[in-house]
A and B are shown apart, each in its own frame.
Chain A
Amino acid sequence: MRIRLFAALAALCLSAVAAEARTVRWSASGDPNTMDPHSQNVGTVTMVLQQIYDPLIQRSRTLGLAPGLAVSWEQVEPTRWRFRLREGVRFHEGQTFTAEDVVFSIDRAKQPTSNFGIYVDTIESAVAVDPMTVDVITRVPDPILPNKIASVFMMSRSWSEANGATRPQNTRQREEIHTTRNTNGTGAFRLANREPDVRTVLARHADWWGWREEGTGNVTEIVFRPISSDATRIAALLSGEVDFVLDPPLQDLQRLRSAQGVSVLEGPEVRTIFLGMDQFRPELLYSDVRGRNPLSDLRVRRALYQAIDIQAIQRVTMRGQSMPTGTLFPEQVNGYAREEDVRLPFDAARARALLAEAGYPNGFEITLDCPNNRYINDEQICQAIAGMWSRVGVRTRLNAMPLGPFFAKIQREDTSIYLFGWGVPTLDALYSFQSLLASRAGGQQGDGIWNYGGYSNARMDALISRMRTETGDARQAAIREALNIFREDVPLIPLHHQMIPWAMRSNISIPHMANNQPYFRWAVVN
């Protein structure tokens, strides 16, 4: 232990002497709960692991697809994609990266304990053609495979086998495996030290293949410390104890903007906030209307929609940090159509008229379920909406709770109306339609898994299966029609796309990413 002490002191002295040391002290509210690259498909885990591991195809600064560990890829047959791998790549512990590792990693992501199944769901198998070429064979033609494979990190087969980590850590079971706390990637940084919930230190991997490319930064060390309290996190940034805050609270932006030495980087996120509604029960669970379900009446859905003053929410609740929307996903997603992104106008009088027309001249009572720590200002949005609805006669009781109980509740379909948000990691429309609006009964695995309102529309289902297999213009046309149905039928009430400001010390520059991932390989510390 004394040696450790000296080592720590020596390291301290060294870092003080080395002029080239460029450390970024980074903070966010949550800590990654594992270091296993295929165990948890959650932003807080990915934000650290993407610094350490590379996928075959990586995201460019504009979230386009760019060569990663694969230098090129093509669809050689409808069900066969061929990837040519990058030469001379080594893992942090020295192993050479080959096709074997790709086959292993894809197989690993397909294991039952993986949380990344949705990205490899169409893959039949991966085959090594030669040491630098891999073929991925899909069960059905999958036009968006590259978008999905961009979320699958590559691991070393020999390292994983040597450490008994050939399948993803099962976080559900009482299990800890080597990959829970150890990493061996090919990425720009390697894991130097990790104390869960306290600090995670990443050191620059000097041999990373990508440093040769243009536009890379100069960060030599990343120290990540989670701070869950908003006020504390901001205080730490203001007092200079932290250099970069991924999720500054909106109300503090004004102060941060005017603070000396702090800058705020603003940008959109690929995440849309909306309200889901029970449309399948004959009678709502949480309402005073008996014998019928008001929410299955399009007029009522429209009335609730038009009662919402989204501009007020944007200006006051979100402090300008939101993009009100009338559609299902933002423009970064393939299939987005500006003409379909039109909201029903805010019109309280019209909302009251619609309610009266539908047979509720005196409104009704309803409970709005809402998470209070999942989306930006989620509970405040719900409070504002509850007030707006109450004003048109829909007496709204707000039931806000932490995400744990909230998700459990809506997954039991134990809700009448709820606030929800949906991100699109594949940046393709299918992901949203399939999960949120496909009928739950029948269909393919994954259809309607988040369709807790029980929306069901045969035309929509047909369009979704066309999106799944068709390519080119036919596919775009299917998405376009589905978006139109979404707008006309109001299966969900869209609210806004989230904006995700990042706050940092002024001496740091880093490209803002709509997937809310800071890529420190591109960060520059002055």
Chain B
Amino acid sequence: MLAVSFISFAMFTYVGDPVAIMLGQDFTEAQRAALVAELGLDQPFFVQFLKFIGNAVQGEFGLSYRLSRPVAELIAERAPATLELALCAAVIAMAVGVPMGVYTGLYRHSILSRFFLTFSLIGVSLPTFLIGILLILIFAVALGWLPSFGRGDVVRLGWWTTGFLTVSGLKALILPAITLGVFQLTLIMRLVRAEMMEVLRTDYIKFARARGLSNRAINFGHALKNTLVPVITIAGLQLGAIIAFAIVTETVFQWPGMGLLFIQSVGAADVPVMAAYLMLIALVFVTINLIVDLLYYAVDPRLRIGKGAH
């Protein structure tokens, strides 16, 4: 975390000049110098950094240069949008990806399997931003079925804002969630397929077959269960990736989440926001990692006996 905070601070210290943006069209040299001093930008690098760390530990990232509002508040305001989007994308990826993976794993040569595989290959080969642009072009502009930007109407529940409770909110979710989910979907499908095929040829399944268990019991009771461990790992890790890739999707769909905030801040050289965002993402990853490790432990009985498998 410290490393990330240092990097996130260092990387943006020289990226842009917030002074120029804040001063606007008319100013004097004296005003400029005064502003530089006010922002503490004239102090040595490490002094600025120490200050930054000191404040960050207290959850205090200062005020956004661009919006003049506390960074923590801004991020808290944007987080629900990103998290809801990421959650939907993850659900889509899992709900569609796992069954498709199982099917293609079991019936390797059926026509549907080939279709799924072709789809997944195209999905892996299409960059996220192109998918988003194409979806907007088809569903928002040509057909006019779904909104092309924003979150629609949101309902406020305490500090959390949700788009799940209104029709327009749900409609606005569809395109971005699909865009964000497609790549993960194909990834999960291919993973499940590979794992299924791997597991199905293990002795363990052969024994099960020999014991005369039904195909159904074998496929779902034994094989699928065994594929779950790597799937959970990857899915968990991919949740982080989804949040990170949300930067792209949010840019395309003007989704008012943290990723868009980040990109807008990059444009305005808004250091406090960018630094805080990166640290938050780092925290999210660490947390996800921990949860995945724990889940691993819960799902895979071998790990409970000892560390032998590792």
Contacts and interface: CB of A to CB of B under 8 A. Distances in A.
Interface of B: 15-28, 31-32, 34-35, 38-39, 62-63, 65-70, 74, 77, 133, 136, 140-141, 144, 147-150, 153, 155-158, 251-254, 256, 260-261, 264, 267-269
Interface string A399-428: 000111101100100000000000100000
A408 B19 contact: yes
A196 interface: yes
A241 B149 contact: yes
A34 B68 contact: yes
Given A115-B26, A171-B22, A407-B21, 6 more contacts: A33-B67, A115-B27, A241-B150, A404-B20, A411-B32, A446-B28
Contact of A232 (B38, B63, B252, B256): B252
Contacts, number: 138
Interface residues of A, number: 55
A314 interface: no
Interface stretch (A79-87, A172-180, A321-329, A387-395): A172-180
B148 A239 contact: yes
B73 to A, nearest CB: 9
Interface in A158-212: 169-176, 180-181, 195-198
Contact of A239 (B147, B158, B251): B147
Interface in A94-129: 112, 115, 117-118
9 contacts: A40-B24, A115-B27, A181-B69, A197-B67, A227-B149, A235-B149, A240-B144, A403-B20, A411-B32
A402 B147 contact: no
A236 B155 CA distance: 22
The secondary-structure label for the interface of chain A is: loop
B269 A404 contact: yes
Interface string A420-449: 000100000000000100000000011001
Interface in A20-76: 33-34, 40-42
Given A197-B256, A235-B141, A402-B267, A176 B70 contact: yes
Interface of A: 1, 4-5, 8, 12, 33-34, 40-42, 112, 115, 117-118, 169-176, 180-181, 195-198, 225, 227-229, 231-233, 235-236, 238-241, 373, 402-405, 407-408, 411, 423, 435, 445-446, 449-450
Contacts of B140: 235, 239
A407 B21 CA distance: 8
A453 B295 CA distance: 64
A228 B16 CA distance: 19
A407 B23 CA distance: 10
A1 B28 contact: no
A40 B25 CA distance: 9
A5 B155 CA distance: 7
B22 A172 contact: yes
Contact of A4 (B18, B144, B156, B269): B156
Contact of B150 (A5, A225, A405): A225
Contacts of B153: 12
Nearest to A40: B24
A169 B64 CA distance: 13
A404 B21 contact: yes
Given A33-B66, A402-B16, A227 B28 contact: no
Contacts of B38: 170, 172-173
A227 B148 CA distance: 11
Contacts of A405: 15-17, 269
A391 to B, nearest CB: 33
Contacts of A231: 133, 136
B158 A33 contact: no
A373 B77 CA distance: 27
B26 A236 contact: no
Nearest to A431: B26
A241 B147 contact: yes
B26 A435 contact: yes
B268 A8 contact: no
Contacts of A403: 20-21
A115 B24 contact: yes
B193 to A, nearest CB: 35
Contact of B149 (A171, A174, A236): A236
A319 B261 CA distance: 32
3 nearest A-B residue pairs (beta carbon): A408-B17, A174-B63, A407-B20
